[in-house]
Structure formats: structure tokens, C-alpha cells
Structure 1
Amino acid sequence: MTDVSAERRSDDDTAAPILVERAADRVVVTLNRPEKRNAIDQAMVDALHEVCAELEVEPRTLIITGAGSTFAAGADIAQLRERRAADALAGINANCFIRINELPMPVIAAIDGYALGGGAELTYAADLRLATPALKIGNPETGLGIIAAAGASWRLKEIVGEALALELLLTGRVLNADEALAARLVNAVHAAKDLLAEAHALADRIAANDRDATIAMKRVVRAPRAEHPRVDLEAQAELFESPEKVRRMTEFLERRSKR
């Protein structure tokens, strides 16, 4: 596992809305409002935008987790209560999560405990989701007189299918870990003590591959169906000219010849 602890951000841990740890091939973001069960507020959104700006320039895998035993229990309700139509149209959380989703390299959500409302929508923006047996994930927004408008209406049905997405969004039903795993809403469930290590192990597997190929793979998977196979072939054409492709394939052939 890559050691990220040495490059931890120097901000006051008790005040920073997120904690950021950096390594050459990954960045770990910890949502850091444990006293509010990591409720997503404006300061946290602003800090996440700063991380996105960094990773758009220097692509690395992003791991997102939460301080304490909660990922994020939702958006900050006190702030939401004061927001009006103009705030909704500004897409404060939605645009942040879109930016996270569109990062060049993979995003891994390591989810312990509650991931509700905006917290759930943040996990939906990730490419891969790992959870603990304590997971409780869902979107109870309609019970608060609003809708899940930060990505759930389109991402959730892409992940679990429209029928289940509609059930969850219309009823507010919360899934536990076994239900989320069965629905493939999460990729795997691990003990809480192992969660971050397993997220790093996943990041290690990604880091072992060619970064340019990984970026291209994520981009073409996300491309609209009408753009295939053109986008695949254009990406492959670029990679076929890469010295890294030649190096990796040469090493593969040499290893095979020695068997």
C-alpha cells in the first residue's frame, strides 16, 4: 500500500472541513465534520472543488471516506432549510459531484455507516464503492419536502436499474450492506478496520496499470453509446503509439518466454 501519511495537509484537523493526504499516485480525502456526522455543507463543497482542481491538473486516483463511523449523513439540513430557488438552480452539491465524477482517474468511495441524501449522492459519483457491514445508504429527501437533486435521479438508475432506483427514491427506503451488495450498489463489503486498507489495495491495483490507459478507459466507458466505437478506436490509436504500451507488451512477452 502506498504511504500517504507523510504528506498530510497541515491544516488544523479540527477546523478543516476535509482532510487531504497526498501520494504520487493517489489522494485520500476524509470528510471531517464528525460532530455533524460529516454533513455536507458549503465549506466542504468548496474544499472538494479545490481537490478536484488539483486532480484535473495532476490526475491521480481519489479515495473519499468519512471521519468517525459515518461517511456522510446527508447535506447540512440547517443550510438547506435556508436555501431558496436561486440556490437550487445553482446546483451547489450537484455541480461538485459532477466534477468529482468527471475526474480523469478513478474515484473510490470507502463508506462506513450512514451515507444518506447528499452523502449517498456523493458515493454515487464515485466509480467504485466499498462499504462496511454498518452501511445504511439511501435518499430520504422527499420526506423533507425536496428531491434528491445532486445526481441520484440519473446516477442511481444507471447503477442499480430504474425499478429499484424508483423504489428507493420514491419511498426513501434505506439499504443495508447486504442489500446494497446484492444490488451492486457497492462493489464489496469489508470489516470497518479493513475498509481503508481495502480501498488502498484497490488503488494499488489501479496504480499498477498504465495511467494513460486507465484515463482513456474511464473516458470511453462514460461516453454516450452513439459515440462508440469511434471514441474507443481513437483512444486505442493514441495508446498504440505510446512508448509505455511497447514497454509493457515487451516485458509481458519476455516474461512469457521465460516460463
Structure 2
Amino acid sequence: MTWSSLQVEERADRLLVQLNRPEAKNAIDRQMVEELHQVCAELEQTPRIALIIGAGGNFAAGADIAQLRDRRREDALAGINSGIFDRIRRLPMPVIGLLDGYVLGGGAELAYACDFRIGTPEVRIGNPEPGLGILAAAGASWRLAELVGEPIAKEILLAGRVLKADAAQQLHLLNDVVAPDALIDAGNALADRIAGQGALAIRLSKAVFHAPREAHPFIDDLAQAVLFETEEKHDRMTAFLERKNRSNP
């Protein structure tokens, strides 16, 4: 594929996706949204772990305001940004956000859609949309409360609070904070841990985790029934028992 707003590095078990508009602090424009849809199509067809990072010392400073200013009612109803962030959230394998610098507006909502978030001390996370006369309509207005709780979410969404890295980590919005030059290594280390698990077990665990409350416990039992019939389950349990027997002669 030819990329203009992204850079994509493929490996057998993961994709490293870089938002690549550093001159605009990686502001999310229509071209980037279209290219993210192409990435999602690839990851849906061939499920792999995804790592998303921004170029130039920022994750994403928001949506492209020049484009956003000209959008009208029909654009809002089309769900341009909410659609891609929801699609990223629903990817079959985990998504790791590697955050640095500005993580604002649509950039924050993209980060909220990730399963994991690792940041640097320079991270600044917030949703300044009401200051521009709009709301955070691409996931933050409901997803953020699930992540940090209602009081903090309202501070961010209604009072313009911007979280620094230490506060974001204390609120468990960031899984870890590392130096900027260690960000990709930290992301790959987490991806390695995920890749070491059973791939189908991870896919079904993520699906069950995000299933609506009323779907439980049936969906848990159904997913487990699928896994109980796999060769990987048998092989992994056999290897576990063999290791246990060797350590306890």
C-alpha cells in the first residue's frame, strides 16, 4: 500500500503504525482516517497486534481544525472519527497506544480506543473540544468515564483539565511511563508478552471482555467451548504438565 499520512511496519505478529503528519502535530485529517481504515481492514483479515505511535514527539494534537471548521451536520452524522476509533476498538487483537507529547481531542479519543497505553513524561492528555464550540463526540464522552471514572472524566470534558503523565498513570489511564527513546521498545515488550499467549485465546478473551453485561455468562461458556476443542489448548496444557513433572520428580 502507498501511505501519505501513516508509516506502517509489518511483522509476522504485529503492525507498527505511525501517525505521520509531524508538521501538524499529527492532527487527524480525512486522509489519515481513510488510511487507518485500510490498516483496520488488514488487521481484520489477518489478526495481529497493533502498535500506534506518532511522529515528531507527539501522538496526535487532535482533529485537523481547518477541516473540522468546515464540517456540517451531515459530516457529524457520518461519524468520520467516531467510526474509525470504534473500528480500532473492535479489532480482534489488542491495540497498544504509544503516547508522547500532545494527546488531545481526537488524538486522545484514539488513545482511549486502544487496549493499552504507554506514555512518556512529556504526555499531555485532554479534550479541549468545548473550547472550540463542539463536544468530544468520537468516544470520549462515554469511554473516558469507563477508564478514569466520572469525576475525572467530567473535569477533562467539561472543565478543560489536561492530564500530565504522572496523573494519567495514577488514574491507570497509562499502563506505564517510559523515556521517549524507550517508547517503542516498551511497546514491543508488551506485544511480546501478548504474542506469547495463545492467539485465539487472546482474541476470544478480548471479545468476551467487551461483550455487553447481558451476554454473560453464556458468551464466556461459548468461547471456552471453542477453545477446549483446539489443538493449541491441548498442546499448551500438555507442555505445562510436562514442565511441572520435570520440576517435581
Give the C-alpha shift of residue 77 in structure 1.
0.3
Query: CA shift at 1:255, angstroms?
Result: 0.7
What number of residue pairs does the alignment pair up? Answer: 247
Shift of 1:44: 0.1
Question: 1:49-88, aligned counterparts within 5 Å?
Answer: 49-88=37-76
Q: How does 1:107-126 map to 2 (within 5 A)?
A: 107-126=95-114
Deviation at 1:166, TM superposition (A): 1.1
From 218, 227, 244, the equivalent of 2:232 is 244
Alignment pair present for 1:221 and 2:247: no
Match of 1:44 among 32, 39, 60: 32
User: Is 1:33 aligned to residue 21 of structure 2?
Assistant: yes
Distance, in Å, in 1 between the alignment partners of 2:34 and 2:107 is: 15
SS at 2:68's partner residue? helix
Give me the whole-angstrom Cα distance separating, in 2, the residues matched to 1:129 and 1:172: 21
What CA distance in whole angstroms lies between the structure 2 residues aligned with 1:243 and 1:102? 26
Percentage identity across aligned positions? 59
Letter in 1 for 2:106: G
Stretches of structure 1 lacking an aligned partner (at least 5 in a row): 1-8
Counterpart of 1:253 (choices 227, 241, 246) is 241
- TM-score normalised by L of structure 2: 0.98
Per the alignment, residue 165 of structure 1 pairs with 153
Specify the alignment match of 2:172 in structure 1: 184
Superposition deviation, residue 125 in structure 1: 0.3
RMSD across aligned positions (CA): 0.8
**Residues of 2 paired with 1:99 and 1:85: CA distance?**
22
How far the C-alpha of 1:218 sits from its partner, in A, is 0.2
2:148 aligned with 1:150: no
Q: CA deviation at 1:235?
A: 0.3
Could you list the runs of 5+ residues in structure 2 that have no partner in the other structure? none
Q: Where has structure 1 moved over 4 Å in runs of 4 or more?
A: none
Superposition deviation, residue 111 in structure 1: 0.3
